A and B are shown apart, each in its own frame.
Chain A
């Protein structure tokens, strides 16, 4: 019926035919958008509902729903935590108390959709106690506390500039730290009596800044940085968000903007930057635009634009936990008292690079040593495949999975078991060919139905359809 409709539509509107056939299938879009926005797999019933939904604007409705979800906010918080290097211990040494406060601050910025320029102002103009004025952790997170190092990192983060040669660091030369009587509490303050530098501050684009005595010199710089006239500031965020979605920036690496590193699609970058500026640095609006773009909705390369990406470490570990129902319980060994995360805490929600597990390390969890996006390495390795193929821990988790047991008990035949597992692991229904394959596997190896269920789940977790966002 559906096919007939499409054929009729195609005959009537040749234009639509092009766009309809360029688009990825609904089930592909569903999984892709969930993993991109929330870092989590859709629940099986959500997949079924979305696949069966006939509404023409269901994609937009889903994007709206997801962007407002707690999962999406927490996942975006992870992206920010990576580049702001949020970590209790070495090398950021924010300490658990500071990590909690800092994460909460970022979460609230995202929750209230604070415009990007305001959020960056909040970070850069912060001062006070690392426990009580959370944004001040921005400056505490640098292992090397020098104006030059602060400035180099600010350039990297907000201008994508790896090699700054101007003397803007003078604007950050008033920053001082003092300890308090509370363990690991520190006050970040400004030395307002510092003598004005004798040099003039001249930024890379030739702008000269005037610093006045007994004022916060950072303000002069931040005003310049976050101004809509400073187009690069907006462009870098636009490109970074594109990178977070596609794994490849329009300018790539996303934190390496140079004269000789040109955007692959200048028109697209311009269009998105105009949109972002027109919406006053609204990050959520920008994200929505990207998610509804024809690029994000396209088929996988080479037919379409979208290039498959191996899932990030935290996402893979969470995905395996959510399909088997066996969650790792995370704890922080930072003294004292130790922190024990509630059961079923997602790896994407840990918020602290000091907290880890063997699996997270194996799949390349970001250690947050530096602010470079390239610190996240999503290349598939033989060790990761070895783990998936033959880990006894994974085998136990599948074998003892209550979820799998229930699927087995509730469904009596290969087809319904395969559908239930596939919906959970791959967010789609099993194809007739696959069901034939499973039946053959069961007969050839003389497996009882439950053992077949175990093999199907094992196999799907091993499949690249599972390991990749596609």
Chain B
């Protein structure tokens, strides 16, 4: 029923030109390992040291009534640009099933392995996207805890750039190779052409190689070249891996790439949690605030969805005892995501957790609700289907069709009406 209703709305909207694809690109800033929601987007200053840890206070944001973690002052100054989802929940405390839930929107335990939403978007845009760069790019590598292509297969997996964007020369695998200049590669290719007399897929391979040569020496190289950015811009994002990766992401989105995955590892802080947060949160604060501001100043934020979060959160209660000595463990029951741009409203909060942050108090949000909303903004029907090699067409987000697994798309923070 809901599906028919939505489809008819979509159709109507398309007829009147009101519904168009709102967002053109997605940047997922993925905090791999699971960031602590209570130290970032859902602080609990009144829950006592056993929960709040050693922080002195919180940051009041520029939006009345919204507070975020003490270590995120720059993001606090721009809360009107993003919204916070504080009531995400999937209940899984294992990395791989948590990743699976957050990256596919499916729940584990079924007979089928779903593709990541980056792969789905790259599948859906395969005909309309005409850019020279791949449709789905990971800076610098994708999470490989499960098969990201899922049943769509390898072709829709991300292109991993490899290399170090924070270094002097960002060596993007296959594109930037500092050992070899153009003349040398040309001479090598000439040698290869003369050598190769075998018929195996020769025509195909020759044509792909020719395309690659254009790709290597064409615009793509310049898009990845961070030395094209003024130093002030590079400084603004911070010289960390995350900061420079976010800058790469902005350049890619500018070039029209539909999905960019920026992954920062190291968030699995069972031990030395607070010491690690002291160095990691300022990096995140600087990088993410710069990304949002930069996109906004360039008029790109309106068409670019920015997401930030991990596979789950961390226990709101601090494990002071040995061997953790002030750590936080995995927590899938409730955690937060930051969402911005591409049609998401700014300055709002979705959902609420209880006093200590251990339970969802209001408006739970399932991973499929978040990903479904992103599909909607990207002009993809969240109730549509994907082709499976032996099972026929499968729902793009099966959990969305199950009332026990979905709590509704995030209509409260987008302009599209139910």
Residues of A within 8 A of B (CB): 89-91, 142-144, 149, 162, 300, 308, 310, 333, 335, 354, 356, 358, 361-362, 364, 367, 369-370, 372, 374, 377, 380-383, 385-387, 389-393, 395-396, 399, 434, 437-438, 441, 444-445, 455, 458-460, 462-465, 468, 470
B108 touches A383 (CB 8 A): no
A391 to B174, CA, bound (A): 4
A361 touches B144 (CB 8 A): yes
Residue of B nearest to A374 (CB): B389
B109 in the interface (beta carbon within 8 A): yes
6 contacts between A and B (CB under 8 A): A90-B113, A361-B157, A383-B134, A385-B205, A463-B195, A465-B200
What is the minimal beta-carbon distance from B201 to any residue of chain A, in angstroms? 6
A382 touches B208 (CB 8 A): yes
What is the minimal beta-carbon distance from B97 to any residue of chain A, in angstroms? 6
Known: A143-B110, A395-B179. A377 touches B185 (CB 8 A): no
A459 to B191, CA, bound (A): 7
Instruction: List B155-180 residues whose CB lies under 8 Å from chain A.
Output: 155, 157, 159-160, 162-163, 171, 173-180
Tell me which residues across on chain A come within 8 A of B159, comparing CB atoms.
383
**Chain B 177-203 per-residue mask, 1 if CB under 8 angstroms from chain A, else 0:** 111100011011101101110111110
What is the minimal beta-carbon distance from A169 to any residue of chain B, in angstroms? 14
B296 in the interface (beta carbon within 8 A): no
Residue of B nearest to A463 (CB): B196
A308 to B205, CA, bound (A): 14
Residue of B nearest to A364 (CB): B154
- What 14 new A-B contacts, CB under 8 Å, besides A90-B100, A372-B389? A90-B108, A149-B111, A356-B144, A361-B142, A377-B153, A381-B155, A385-B205, A390-B177, A391-B177, A392-B163, A392-B176, A444-B187, A445-B187, A459-B188
Residue of A nearest to B217 (CB): A390
A310 to B155, CA, bound (A): 16
Known: A90-B96, A308-B200, A437-B191. A389 touches B179 (CB 8 A): no
Tell me which residues across on chain A come within 8 A of B153, comparing CB atoms.
377
B56 in the interface (beta carbon within 8 A): no
B145 touches A90 (CB 8 A): yes
Instruction: List B102-138 residues whose CB lies under 8 Å from chain A.
Output: 108-111, 113, 134
Known: A389-B174, A464-B201. A358 touches B192 (CB 8 A): no
Tell me which residues across on chain B come within 8 A of A90, comparing CB atoms.
96-97, 100, 108, 113, 145-146
Contact for A464 among B96, B147, B196, B390, CB less than 8 A:
B196
Instruction: List B275-292 residues whose CB lies under 8 Å from chain A.
Output: none
The 10 A-B residue pairs with the shortest CB-CB distance, nearest first, are: A367-B147, A386-B174, A369-B113, A308-B200, A392-B177, A90-B96, A382-B208, A144-B111, A89-B96, A90-B146
A372 touches B390 (CB 8 A): yes
Residue of A nearest to B142 (CB): A361
What is the minimal beta-carbon distance from A335 to any residue of chain B, in angstroms? 8
Tell me which residues across on chain A come within 8 A of B201, comparing CB atoms.
308, 310, 380, 464, 468
Residue of B nearest to A313 (CB): B154
What is the minimal beta-carbon distance from B286 to any residue of chain A, in angstroms? 28
B66 in the interface (beta carbon within 8 A): no
What is the minimal beta-carbon distance from A442 to any residue of chain B, in angstroms? 10
Residue of A nearest to B202 (CB): A464
Residue of B nearest to A444 (CB): B187
B150 in the interface (beta carbon within 8 A): yes
A395 touches B180 (CB 8 A): yes
Tell me which residues across on chain A come within 8 A of B194, comparing CB atoms.
437
Tell me which residues across on chain A come within 8 A of B160, comparing CB atoms.
358, 361-362
B11 in the interface (beta carbon within 8 A): no
B188 touches A458 (CB 8 A): yes
Tell me which residues across on chain A come within 8 A of B208, comparing CB atoms.
380-382, 385
A434 to B191, CA, bound (A): 10
B15 in the interface (beta carbon within 8 A): no
What is the minimal beta-carbon distance from A418 to any residue of chain B, in angstroms? 11
A455 to B204, CA, bound (A): 23
A449 to B176, CA, bound (A): 25
Residue of A nearest to B146 (CB): A90
A335 to B329, CA, bound (A): 14
Tell me which residues across on chain A come within 8 A of B216, comparing CB atoms.
386, 389-390
Known: A361-B144, A367-B146. A390 touches B180 (CB 8 A): yes
What is the minimal beta-carbon distance from B116 to any residue of chain A, in angstroms? 12
Known: A434-B195, A470-B198. A143 touches B109 (CB 8 A): yes
Known: A144-B110, A383-B159. A465 touches B198 (CB 8 A): yes
A89 to B98, CA, bound (A): 12
A48 to B246, CA, bound (A): 53
Tell me which residues across on chain A come within 8 A of B155, comparing CB atoms.
377, 381
B200 touches A441 (CB 8 A): no
A465 to B96, CA, bound (A): 39
Tell me which residues across on chain A come within 8 A of B185, comparing CB atoms.
389-390
A90 to B215, CA, bound (A): 35
A459 to B184, CA, bound (A): 12
B195 touches A459 (CB 8 A): yes
Tell me which residues across on chain A come within 8 A of B191, comparing CB atoms.
437-438, 441, 455, 459
A91 touches B174 (CB 8 A): no
Contact for A386 among B154, B187, B212, CB less than 8 A:
B212
A437 to B97, CA, bound (A): 54
A246 to B188, CA, bound (A): 32
B192 touches A392 (CB 8 A): no
B113 touches A370 (CB 8 A): yes
B100 touches A455 (CB 8 A): no
Tell me which residues across on chain A come within 8 A of B187, comparing CB atoms.
441, 444-445, 455
Contact for A395 among B108, B113, B177, CB less than 8 A:
B177
B212 touches A144 (CB 8 A): no
A309 to B110, CA, bound (A): 34
B62 in the interface (beta carbon within 8 A): no
Tell me which residues across on chain A come within 8 A of B188, comparing CB atoms.
455, 458-459, 462
Residue of B nearest to A355 (CB): B144
Tell me which residues across on chain B come within 8 A of A390, comparing CB atoms.
174-175, 177, 180, 185, 212, 216
B274 in the interface (beta carbon within 8 A): no
What is the minimal beta-carbon distance from A375 to any residue of chain B, in angstroms? 8
A449 to B109, CA, bound (A): 58
Tell me which residues across on chain B come within 8 A of A463, comparing CB atoms.
192, 195-196, 198
Contact for B204 among A380, A393, A444, CB less than 8 A:
A380
